[in-house]
Structure 1
Amino acid sequence: MAPIIVIGKWVFLGKISNIKNFIEILNKEKMLFLWHFSMSLSMFAFATTAYWFITGESEFAPLPEVIDSRTLPWVIVGGITCLAGIFVFFLYEKQFKQKRPELFEDINADDYEASWWKFIVGTALLILLCYILNTLFIAWTEIYDDLLTKLFGDSIFAGLHYFLGSLISSLPETIVAVKNYERLTSPDLNTAMASASQSNMTNLGIGFLGSVLASLLLAIGINYQL
């Protein structure tokens, strides 16, 4: 979303030269783009595989309203898959840092000051936005549930809710990416793209912690519903 926001802003302000410079730097840094793109796809592949291990369902197929919980070995394998994806990311990132250290050393950090009040206000706004989203989904479910369920399955609203919720919860990363894209330098371009690939890797970490929690619940005899 960040490149779309940046280009849209430049079009609105008439800064066509910035768009040309942006295209030029992307052409210059094709390998940088491909690295982050391939890492994002790799993390998605690990996440998709882990999802199947943990749920027994394909995330691309219409889902039933209730998914039966998997047995302990399946959940453990799903967690290990998440951990393997994280290991792969750090392995390739280490190699990339050794190959192009300047991308990680010459980062412009002028706009990033530690601020507790910004953290508190930002967190409060995210909570408010999520509350508004939840309220809207309650209304939308009542109005469109029958139609969309017939077309896409019982879990369509869970999927839409997660997708829109992820966009809102990713606003901090989007803001960081937008600011760095606007600087039009290779190190800042790397930071902007990392806001996507790093987020995908972090989500695998969340998935790993979730699988550990689910495994502990199953190990002590507590079942749960996904």
Structure 2
Amino acid sequence: MTVRVLVASRNPKKLAELRRVIAAAGVDGLEVVGLDDVAPYEEAPETGATFEDNALLKARDGAVASGLPCVADDSGIAVDALNGMPGVLSARWSGRHGDDQANLELLLGQMRDVPDERRGGAFVSACALVRPDGSEDVVRGTWSGRILRAPRGENGFGYDPIFAPDDTVGERSAAELTPEEKDAVSHRARALDALLPALRDLIVDD
């Protein structure tokens, strides 16, 4: 029997990434659906102080409204020279939620005079799983690297074009990686990997 799992997102690239990671892990028996696949419900604003707080807020809303186990991710970029910002404000750093280009350009402007040796940062992802019975799991994944001086690459989304991961050859940006390469090392992939035991338990418990 297949267990439906709601992912509290309408971002098609994020949904595709989550589906690829689950498929690559060989987790059979899970059908991943997004917010567009369930009845609409009022989504609480992301007011949490941490990625974990926001992921849990979204997953709790989704589980209560849909009656399905719900996975939610809250992620962003933490820049050393900006004392860990944008952090949880990454998606609305420019003041307009989800405007990737404006957010990216603002961050580049803020980093313009920062020397190379101080351009470190990391992508952070917190993934929460909330079940209809109210039980919860929340995990974190990080992906260290540095902030580039100009965007590179056409893949990915968000801040990917200006982030060069430490664990890639030739200082490629995250947006220059193939989906398969990114899935193997990204912050979200690492968080989901930590969440896989709880996802597998959904099938066992069903």
Q: So what's the TM-score if we normalise by structure 1?
A: 0.26
Q: Which has the larger radius of gyration?
A: 1
Report the structure, 1 or 2, having the larger helix content.
1
Report the structure, 1 or 2, having the larger strand content.
2
